[in-house]
């Protein structure tokens, strides 16, 4: 398996509504996946709920990776996600991400901090909405 990266993961999870969410999760994340977003931990089931909720709120968008570093099983990046919500509002969220990959190249653990760059104040919590 080719190692994943954040652009492929976000595109499959959020911006490809024809791709089954469970298939996208299996493609990019290990069964024991854990994530900490803005200080709050979730397991893979919690992350799946988060992505399902985002899919219900978002009708399109894109990701722009500004910096990316891979060293063995360590991965880090800084990226901006632009989302267009079902209500037509657009928001941009900047993300600083540090991750650990599994030997098969999928994400095993992600720790990230998010910051609303542009958009409605209610979208400040998009990184952790469930």
pLDDT band at 1 (very low <50, low <70, confident <90, very high): low
Task: Decide: 111 and 30 in contact? Cβ < 8 Å.
Answer: no
> Of 56, 50, 58, which is closest to residue 130 (Cα–Cα)?
50
Average pLDDT over all residues of the chain: 95
Looking at the DSSP bridge assignments, the partners of residue 42 are 35
Instruction: Give the tens place of pLDDT for each residue, 52-100.
Output: 999 999 999 999 999 999 999 999 999 999 999 999 999 999 999 999 9
Domain at 6-125, CATH from 1.10.10.10, 1.10.260.40, 3.40.630.30, 3.10.450.50 = 3.10.450.50
Distance of CA 40 to the CA centre of its chain: 14
Q: Using CA atoms in the order 53, 40, 107, 93, what is the torsion angle rounded to 10 degrees?
A: 60
> What pLDDT does 105 receive?
97
pTM of the prediction?
0.93
């Amino acid at each position: 398996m080719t190692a994943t990266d954040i652009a492929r993961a976000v595109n499959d999870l959020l911006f490809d509504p024809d791709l089954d969410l469970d298939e996208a999760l299996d493609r990019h994340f290990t069964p024991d996946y854990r994530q900490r977003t803005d200080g709050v931990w979730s397991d893979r089931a919690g992350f799946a709920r988060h992505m399902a909720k985002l899919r219900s709120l978002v009708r399109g968008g894109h990701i722009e990776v500004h910096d990316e570093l891979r060293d063995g099983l360590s991965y880090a990046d800084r990226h901006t996600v632009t989302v267009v919500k079902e209500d037509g509002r657009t928001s941009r969220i900047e993300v600083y991400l540090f991750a650990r990959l599994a030997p098969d190249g999928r994400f095993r653990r992600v720790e990230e901090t998010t910051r609303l760059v542009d958009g409605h104040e209610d979208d400040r919590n998009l990184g952790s909405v469930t």
